[in-house]
Structure 1
Amino acid sequence: MKPHLLNNISQGLLGLFPLVRKKLAPSPINDSSLPLSNSNYHALFLLHEMRHSTVSELSRQLNISRPNMTPLLDKLVKYDLVSRKTGETDRRVVEVEITPQGDELVQELGKRMALQIKEKLSNLSEADLMRMNKCLDELKCILLKVDHPAE
């Protein structure tokens, strides 16, 4: 039964992502003060979590080709949201780090996005909200075990 169960779960998760995005995911692009693309915001939010990264690792995480990362990061550097420097031990390695201004923007956008999600969920019943909360807690707990062998 395990292969069938794994197939159902993988298909269910793949179907869940677009549904969550369509129904709940707000777009941070509503911030008109900076002309940033979705990819810029994705990189910024990822760097906020990672704190710093190499360009190669960031491109791998975002599924963006290394050459396409250059203009994406150029724009973030231009607005002082990230800094870029060559590696100390290997000058071919380029490292990027989120700046305090980048952190500030991510935190502000995160607050706005959370408000948008709350507004969208506000029409659900308290019972549905409690079920969703419980399911999210359980999903998070299970996902934290993914890279660890089953006990």
Structure 2
Amino acid sequence: MAGALQFAASIPLAVYAATVSARLHRLGVRAPGATIALAGGLLAAGFLALCGLVSWTLSRTEVLDLPALVRALQYLAFATGGPGHVVTLGLLVAGIAVPGLLAGLLPRALAVTGLVLATLAELATLALLFDGAALLLPLARFTCLGWLIAAGFLLPRRRTRTHKEL
């Protein structure tokens, strides 16, 4: 059940990435930020979907009879749903926060917080090298998702004169 729900959760993330990228373009962002947001969001959604599918595979009784395969799939589920998802989620956040800050599209405090969270998400790569760094994974995942919700509400729908062209 958890694997299926995780797979399903990847779809709204992909839609969000496409929508926010299109909105940034509509707001006049010509810098790479909008494309970075799209790439990061699609990769994060892809890794989340893959993790869900691998987790679903681990629930199959015929797989459970093969301990070596189970262990390999557990590592794959961790890598895709942990660092793979979180690090690319950080790219989505950075792709929104940078143009949000430079073009004045987001409140300064929110944009700077996004940059800090994106950095934290990128540091989650260390979870592949050091077990203790795995603490960064839920910390970055949940704060980034909360930030994306706030940015989605605060990113303007139309360009005003106070926004700078990038």
What range describes the TM-score normalised by the shorter chain of this pair? under 0.3
| The structure with more strand, counted as a fraction of residues | 1
Normalising to structure 2: TM-score of the pair? Answer: 0.24
Which structure has greater helix proportion?
A: 2
